[in-house]
Amino acid sequence: MQPPKFFRKSQDYAGIEQTDNLLPTDEKTPTNTRRRLPYNIFFYTSIALLNIVVGLLIGYLAASEESASSSDSIYLAEPARYGLEDPGIHAPFFIFSEPPAAAAADAANVNNFHVLNNLHQLHCVNMIRMRYNLLVYHRDATDPLAKTPIDEDWIRHLEHCFEYLRLSVTCADYLTFESDSPPGSPEEYWKDGLSWGVVHSCVDWNALMGWQRSQVVAYNATWS
């Protein structure tokens, strides 16, 4: 089986701008060192309500290809073509809401979403960044040892992400030797603090994102 074209097309990763909001930039805001319990309660309640609203919004946007940009999974109509025999995961935009009757009628198809490891890694990097920024820049609103359901969930999620990234590194499915980047090196070796010494050959990220979105459209066409 031939892999999608974006796995065979290489390009200079240093010149790619990721525009799919997979790694949103968190604004740094001044902190207030005075800890206030009522504010903490309000903060946790707001986060819980935000999660519910986001889940409902994703369900509402299920028929839109734009919903793909918030997920690390991709719809595969024929998983066996990729050597996958085990069931996939539930359609991400139906996690917090019941799928429409037409979609629920095909129980196997609604679970034909599979996580792509590159997107999973990027998701984990984003989760670590979000939690770090919360603990550093919003210390007055965060007590990581409070043992609230949200804090406990963060601990489990980050432990998973650290372990997933560790295994991804030790898996070493893509090996590149990197040299030094002394003064006078080509700009793409050190631009924006990258400092990876060489120009890497990477997948066409825009093509990957486009394929993910097109697969959501393909899934929606099976029931809508």
Of the candidates 212, 204, 210, 209, the residue with the CA atom closest to the CA atom of residue 16: 204
So what's the pLDDT on residue 126? 94
Q: Which helix (H) or strand (E) holds 75?
A: strand 73-75
d(CA 138, CA 208): 35
Q: What is the pLDDT of residues 84-142, one digit of tens each?
A: 888 888 898 898 889 999 999 998 999 999 999 889 999 999 999 999 998 899 888 87
Q: What is the pLDDT of residues 43-74, one digit of tens each?
A: 444 444 444 333 333 333 333 333 334 588 89
So what's the pLDDT on residue 144? 77
Q: What is the pLDDT of residues 2-43, one digit of tens each?
A: 556 555 444 343 333 333 433 333 433 333 333 334 444 544
Angle formed by the axes of helices 149-171 and 37-60, nearest 10°: 60
Residue 15 burial by CB count (10 A; 0-12/13-18/19+): exposed, middle or buried? exposed
CA 199 to chain CA centroid, nearest Å: 25
